[in-house]
Amino acid sequence: MAIDLNNLSPKELQALIANANARMHEAHANQVRAVRAKIDAMLQSAGLTINEVYPTRGGKKSATKKGTVAPKYLNPNGPDTWSGRGRAPVWFSEALKKRGVTAESLLIGGGAKKAATAKKATVKKAKKAPVKKA
């Protein structure tokens, strides 16, 4: 069944491609079903389960899997966030170049207030420190 592609219009070629892709996916699904049936038959005849043959399967978690880290910094000009780990994003570096912007001021959840409070507390401690006489 040879098809002369030279005589087909673009619309007919698109339809042919779509039909071929659909048929390819159907053939792949049939192949997977056939292989699964063979594996199931072999396991059943041997009296085994898939977890016995492949013990790492079946929901065991990897010991090296790393979790996600909550974002720490918020882009003042958009919805972007950064966890503070790894290379700093461009928006973070650009924001730090602006006058008066510090890493503390970009913290999520009122980082600027926390930084200002910490500075005030440091100044108050310095003023309250007793003066030693020699």
- The verdict on residue 44 lying in a domain is yes
pLDDT attached to residue 75: 86
Residue 55 has pLDDT above 70, yes or no: yes
Q: Which two tokens stand for residue 8?
A: 């087909």
- The verdict on residue 64 lying in a domain is no
Q: Are 13 and 5 in contact (CB under 8 A)?
A: yes
- The verdict on residue 60 lying in a domain is no
- The verdict on residue 63 lying in a domain is no
Q: Are 91 and 77 in contact (CB under 8 A)?
A: yes
pLDDT attached to residue 125: 55
- Cβ atoms < 10 Å from Cβ of 73: 22
- The verdict on residue 59 lying in a domain is no
121 shares a domain with 77: yes
**Sequence-ordered list of residues with C-beta below 8 angstroms from that of 107, at least 6 positions apart, any chain:** 72, 73, 74, 114, 115
Instruction: Measure Cα distances from 13 to 2, 7, 21, 24, 79 in Å.
Output: 14, 10, 12, 16, 44
Residue 60 has pLDDT above 70, yes or no: no
48 shares a domain with 80: no
pTM here is: 0.39
93 shares a domain with 122: yes
- The verdict on residue 97 lying in a domain is yes
Q: Which structural domain, as residue segments, surrounds residue 30?
A: 10-53
- What percentage of the chain reaches a pLDDT higher than 70? 74
Name the strand (E) or helix (H) holding 74: strand 73-74
pLDDT in tens, 72-90: 988 888 888 888 888 999 9
Instruction: Report the number of distinct structural domains present in the chain.
Output: 2
**Residue 42 DSSP SS3:** helix
- The verdict on residue 19 lying in a domain is yes
- The verdict on residue 116 lying in a domain is yes
